[in-house]
Amino acid sequence: MSIPQDPQNPQGPPPAPPEGTQLPLGDRRNISPVNIEEEMRRSYLDYAMSVIIGRALPDVRDGLKPVHRRILFGMSEMGLTFNRPTRKCAKIVGEVLGKYHPHGDTAVYDALVRMAQDFSMRYPLVDGQGNFGSVDADPPAAMRYTEARLSKIAAMLLEDIDKDTVEFRANYDDSEHEPEVLPTRVPNLLVNGSEGIAVGMATRIPPHNLTEIVNATIALVQNPSLSLERIITQFVPGPDFPTGGILLGRQGIFDYFTRGRGSLKIRAKVATEKLGKDRESIVITEIPYQVNKARLVEQVATLVNDKKIDGISDIRDESDRDGLRVVIELKRGEQPEIVLNNLYKQTQMQVNFGVIMLSIVNGQPREMGLIDCIKRFIDHRVEVVRRRTEFLLRKAREREHILLGFQKALQNLDAVIESVRASRNPKEAREALMGAASFPDNPRLAAVIAKWSPALQFNGQPLSHFDFSERQAQAIIEMQLQRLTGMEQQKILDELAEIERLIAGYLEILTSDVKLRAIIVAELKEVQKNFGDARRTQIVDDEGEINIEDLIKMEDVVVTVTRGGYLKRTALDTYRRQSRGGKGRIGMTTRSEDVVEYLLSASTHSYLLIFTNKGRLYWLKVYNIPDAGSASKGKNISQLISLQEDETIKAFLPVKEFTPDQFVVMATKLGVIKKCELAEFDNPLSRGIIAIGLKTDDDELISAKLSTGADLVFIATRNGMAIKFPEGDVRAMGRPAAGVNSMRLAPDDSIVAMEVVTEDSLILSIAENGMGKRTPAGHYRLQTRAGKGVINMKVNKRTGPVVNVLEVKDDTDVVVITRNGQIIRTEAALIRKTGRSAQGVKLVTLEPGDVIAAACSVQEAEVEGEDNGDPQTDLPLV
């Protein structure tokens, strides 16, 4: 075969240098070119599989990663069982490093520490003495200070390891041997769980209750076709974490039981305690799994200091050796359920635990559900029990063979003794008993053999010569003389009978799958009896967030907002009714640069739709608005909703339910109107949603009202004009739409209010200087949309411009507030009815320089009683 020539070197490769000659640095004869892409792919895959198989993922059979398996085996080899004294962890780590796991002492010690932590492992495998860390994430002491030994349950993982139950392999330097897997009697993968990050994959298996898992395992041993539904309902309802807690919902459990992946919602276990007549505290006694208690306390304190959570006056950690206890003291009158709901949302008192049931199965990573995991463990136990039985059978047969030799020797005792005495050395004695030679050079021994050969027998059958095996002959030679006594002879025969019975039992096990599985069940029941305990984690149905409405008293309140954005609610019956023209009471203390701007009436159970000048909508529950004390300014709106930059509140709309047959009608300052279905606003985002698209930058939203779709729209301007047209003139639009023209405005005029009315409605117009009048809606001519309108109120210097327009009835109360915080409540019936162009009457006596800022209407049915001198109604407004 011809060799192709190198075009750059037609003479062929240079001859090889003599042996022992050092090649120059540039010599390339021993370099093979490879494709770098293929080499990188192959090398990375080799590395990835090494991490996956040999480091990061547990084996489905014993639930252990290699480092944990090596630590347990190394401690077992050191004799550190549960009934032996502890030894320094430094010695244990050195033993494991030197023989089995050459990856660094930190990795070994960290794994050893975790196996000793009762808050990390449901059933710790190491019994530690010293500081092994805490639930506050305090680090353990150095390995030179701590001591350890195997726990009692760890012995169940190592049981029968010396009976050829598992395969062994050479360690990293071929100087020792280590087990490939432990012959565990405990379904450790599910009982203690596992967590690890490999290359491109990860595992996160939660711990489970041993009693429940063993019950499910026994059930599957006896009936492999058992359904998952029955397993869940009768045996394993879900995981059981060492730190307890409450697990919300069962869907995540069913997901990972079925396909190996799911998400669990874990919540801290809390209780409430009375601190006094009207004060309570929240006491945390259990926290979610893997949550740092100290960090949780710090997190709550930070949220309180940043005023992101209200109602908490103090928090302290009272945990001691008796258990975990974190006390959160509440302010006077606070509802614990409401504070808890905020804590669950914003802290690690409630966490999600993502489950990935990934483990090594037959040398490959695989995700499995609950039943598959248990069946893999059962298969492992079947193999372990089978190999153990074969080992015991082999040992029993070896012992039986020796005992049969003893029995034969006892039946021919005189011949055996005389032959041994006639032998010149042990070798001749052994060969004589084996019948392997005639011994011509030892006539005495040959004569003894010839003498006794006709008389030899075994169990009544004659023997032509000794036919002991080599092992039998050696055992006979080594037998002590005391074994020849009558009692000892009987013990040999009894032991032989027992061995034969054991052999029969072992053979029965190996030939009967039912017997073998019965042994597995019996051993599982023993494990359950010795180590089973009660469930710690409570599983409850996930009914979503706490239904706050059930905890809040339903009452009518007045919500007040200042221009600076401070918001508060006050019970409606706090405001005492006064006669028209009264001076009112101070309802809010404001800063000199701040003024009260909005006022509305709503139920505590209502939703509050908040419309901003930019046409965006935010969603808030009225009960989330603080019920502030007397003369308090309340809480800033920015702490309740996430306003965008340059946004100010322009309209509020209380809504009880988002019914499909209702609409929201919105009006802007420059005369744009828009109608939108109420259901469009039932699920706004925290950052707000678009309610109306503004056409120009100088326009802004000024009002939003609910309607039925068949009402009349009444719009009033600052200069005293108004228009009334059918709501049907405005078609329903989507949320981002900009709307249509509602009214033709004069150049210096703008819209100040909009109401949804009927022909029987009364229109209350309120001017800035305290004047007001009621006019029947029928007095306003019905026009089409986009008209110029008619006169609504005669505006002059005495009245000032129109501030607001309200729909009222004879049984309606009107609450008016001034910019300086003065509030008056009066009956609408006391305000005189006048025509459209009248100036009206005085509603409130204003202080010099003060003007009316806002007004709202309150139905008579909402008022609990008249002001007849009751001291309660004389309380200062809040």
Say if residue 554's pLDDT is above 80: no
Catalytic annotation on 145? yes
What pLDDT score does 373 carry? 96
571: pLDDT confidence band, cut at 50, 70 and 90? confident
Residue 845 tokens read as 């006596």
**Looking up tokens 């901003």, which residue turns up?**
612
Residues 702-712: tens digit of each pLDDT: 888 888 888 89
The size of the chain, in residues, is: 878
Choose among 473, 399, 474: nearest CA to 435: 473
CATH number attached to the domain at 269-348: 3.30.1360.40
What pLDDT score does 864 carry? 38
Residues 91-143: tens digit of each pLDDT: 999 999 999 998 889 999 999 999 999 999 999 999 999 999 999 989 999 99
Q: Return the SS3 of 276.
A: coil
Q: Which one from 145, 289, 506, 607 is the annotated catalytic residue? A: 145
The residue ranking higher by pLDDT, 64 or 308, is: 64
Q: Where are the domains of the chain?
A: 64-183, 269-348, 380-519, 552-872
**Looking up tokens 């491109």, which residue turns up?**
200
> Which strand (E) or helix (H) includes residue 416?
helix 413-422
What pLDDT score does 238 carry? 95
Q: What is the C-alpha separation between 639 and 309, in angstroms, rounded?
A: 9
Fold of 64-183: Topoisomerase II; domain 5 (3.90.199)
513: pLDDT confidence band, cut at 50, 70 and 90? very high
Say if residue 873's pLDDT is above 50: no
The residue ranking higher by pLDDT, 160 or 761, is: 160
503: pLDDT confidence band, cut at 50, 70 and 90? very high
689-690: strand order across its sheet? 649-655, 607-612, 616-621, 689-690
What pLDDT score does 259 carry? 92
Q: What is the C-alpha separation between 355 and 463, in angstroms, rounded?
A: 71
Q: What is the C-alpha separation between 630 and 370, in angstroms, rounded?
A: 59
Buried residues in 310-326 as b, exposed as e (16+ CB within 10 A)? bbbeebeeebeeeebeb
Q: What average pLDDT does this structure show over 291-314?
A: 92
Lowest-pLDDT choice from 285-299, 366-380, 483-497: 483-497
192: pLDDT confidence band, cut at 50, 70 and 90? very high
Say if residue 303's pLDDT is above 70: yes
Q: Is 729 left (phi over 0), alpha (psi -120 to 50) or beta?
A: alpha
Task: Let me know if 26 is exposed, middle or buried by CB neighbors in 10 A (0-12, 13-18, 19+).
Answer: exposed
DSSP 72: H
380-519 maps to CATH 1.10.760.10: no
As a dihedral over the C-alpha atoms of residue 526, residue 528, residue 533, residue 539, rounded to 10 degrees, the angle is -170
Model confidence pTM above 0.85 = no
CB 696 within 8 A of CB 670: yes
The residue ranking higher by pLDDT, 603 or 8, is: 603
Domain spanning 552-872: CATH superfamily: DNA gyrase/topoisomerase IV, subunit A, C-terminal (2.120.10.90)
What pLDDT score does 13 carry? 54
Residues 423-481: tens digit of each pLDDT: 888 888 888 888 876 777 888 888 887 877 777 777 777 776 788 889 999 998 888 87
Q: What average pLDDT does this structure show over 55-80?
A: 95
Which runs of consecutive H residues, i.e. helices, occur in 170-324? Answer: 188-192, 210-222, 228-234, 251-259, 293-305
Lowest-pLDDT choice from 7-16, 222-231, 838-847: 7-16
Say if residue 29's pLDDT is above 70: no
Q: What average pLDDT does this structure show over 797-820?
A: 84
In degrees rounded to 5, what are phi and psi of residue 606?
Answer: -80, 160
What pLDDT score does 173 carry? 92
Residues 722-757: tens digit of each pLDDT: 999 999 899 888 888 888 999 998 888 989 888 989
Q: Return the SS3 of 560.
A: strand
23: pLDDT confidence band, cut at 50, 70 and 90? low
What pLDDT score does 41 carry? 87
Lowest-pLDDT choice from 296-305, 371-380, 434-443: 434-443
Task: Let me know if 155 is exposed, middle or buried by CB neighbors in 10 A (0-12, 13-18, 19+).
Answer: middle
Residue 416 tokens read as 């055996």
Question: Any bridge partners for residue 655, and if so which?
Answer: 607
Lowest-pLDDT choice from 203-212, 372-381, 545-554: 545-554
Choose among 317, 315, 304, 316: nearest CA to 346: 304
The residue ranking higher by pLDDT, 564 or 474, is: 474
Residues 810-840: tens digit of each pLDDT: 777 788 888 887 777 788 888 888 888 788 8
15: pLDDT confidence band, cut at 50, 70 and 90? low
Q: Return the SS3 of 689.
A: strand
3: pLDDT confidence band, cut at 50, 70 and 90? very low
Say if residue 630's pLDDT is above 50: no
Q: Mean pLDDT score of the chain, rounded to an integer?
A: 85
> Which strand (E) or helix (H) includes residue 107?
helix 105-116
What pLDDT score does 462 carry? 74
What pLDDT score does 636 carry? 77
CB 634 within 8 A of CB 557: no
Residues 832-863: tens digit of each pLDDT: 888 887 888 888 888 888 888 877 776 543 33
What pLDDT score does 194 carry? 95
Q: How does strand 246-248 pair with strand 538-540? A: parallel
